[in-house]
A = this chain, B = another copy of it.
Amino acid sequence: MNNRAIKKGKDATIINIGDELLRGDIADTNSFWLAKMLFSHGVTVTKIMVVGDDEDEISEALKSCNSDFVFVSGGLGPTHDDVTREGVAKGVGKSLTRNKEAERILTAKYGLTGILLKMADMPIGSEVIGNPIGTAPGFKVDNVIVMPGVPEELRGMFEPIASSFRDDNAIMVEEWVLTDKPEHEILDVLNEAVRTFTDVTIGSYPYLTGDGQTYKVRIKLVSRDTDTLKRAKKWLEESL
């Protein structure tokens, strides 16, 4: 259950790329981490997509987005089927060209030559995003921000660019309320809370406890206003 009344500020789509994610070889920790970070920066994620290492699938995923920002990760390495650069270029309708700044970084810092310089190919007009941890640079083209799939590299790239999308006016504060009652017994209270506190997003998440038999419910309260949030929390704790 979730009261979706509050939805302001900018929104974003996350696209994570990699056949290994679609096979369940590797968990998509990047989307989870990015979603949490974007939320804490005032950006609402409306959709997450995972697609394979395929130029057309990447392009189609990108074309399907109508959010303010699109965060893409994965597939920026030097091997022949790291095709994120090609897919993004096709998706934003720009040709792929050798970015001079990226080429300079890869040549000067890492001494790369030949086929490895394909990591400097970016859609025309891209701004390079430096990679403080690894080799492949990221880039920003239009409203699309493209980062590597190696989690440490993605994380290293995030904060330096966050000022370009962070929205302090859209940042929300949160509180949690826990209850031992099953969700169906607290429905009336939840519904009344949703009606009463219209400036608070209320989400209830049932989970199975360690014994595999008992459900408890975590209730999350989110708001842009701390006082309202505290009142809602107090009301819920007294009503449950």
A80 within 8 A of B: yes
A20 to B115, CA, bound (A): 42
Residues of chain A in range 25-49 having any CB-CB distance to chain B below 8 Å? 25-29, 31-39, 44-49
Query: Is the CB–CB distance between A205 and B25 below 8 Å?
Result: yes
A222 to B25, CA, bound (A): 12
A interface, size bucket: 35 or more
Query: Is the CB–CB distance between A206 and B150 below 8 Å?
Result: yes
User: A77-120: contact bitstring with B at CB < 8 Å (1 yes, 0 no)?
Assistant: 11111100000000000000000000000000000100110000
A57 within 8 A of B: yes
Query: Within the complex, what minimum Cβ distance (angstroms) separates A113 from chain B?
Result: 11
A16 to B60, CA, bound (A): 20
Segment with Cβ contacts to B, from A159-167, A183-191, A228-236: A183-191
Query: Is the CB–CB distance between B27 and A32 below 8 Å?
Result: yes
Residue of B nearest to A52 (CB): B46
Residue of B nearest to A37 (CB): B24
Query: Is the CB–CB distance between B37 and A79 below 8 Å?
Result: no
Segment with Cβ contacts to B, from A1-9, A122-130, A139-147: A1-9
A207 to B2, CA, bound (A): 37
Query: Is the CB–CB distance between A204 and B79 below 8 Å?
Result: yes
Q: What residues of B have a CB within 8 angstroms of the CB of A53 in the complex? A: 2, 4
Query: Is the CB–CB distance between B79 and A20 below 8 Å?
Result: no
Q: What residues of B have a CB within 8 angstroms of the CB of A82 in the complex? A: 1
Query: Is the CB–CB distance between B37 and A1 below 8 Å?
Result: no
A51 within 8 A of B: yes
Query: Is the CB–CB distance between A57 and B52 below 8 Å?
Result: no
Query: Is the CB–CB distance between B22 and A46 below 8 Å?
Result: yes
A21 within 8 A of B: yes
Interface residues of A, Cβ cutoff 8 Å to B: 1-4, 19-29, 31-39, 44-54, 57, 61, 64, 77-82, 112, 115-116, 133-135, 150, 152, 183-184, 187, 190-191, 194, 203-208, 212, 215, 220, 222
- Apart from A4-B54, A27-B32, A79-B191, 6 more pairs, CB < 8 Å: A1-B79, A1-B80, A1-B81, A28-B48, A48-B49, A134-B215
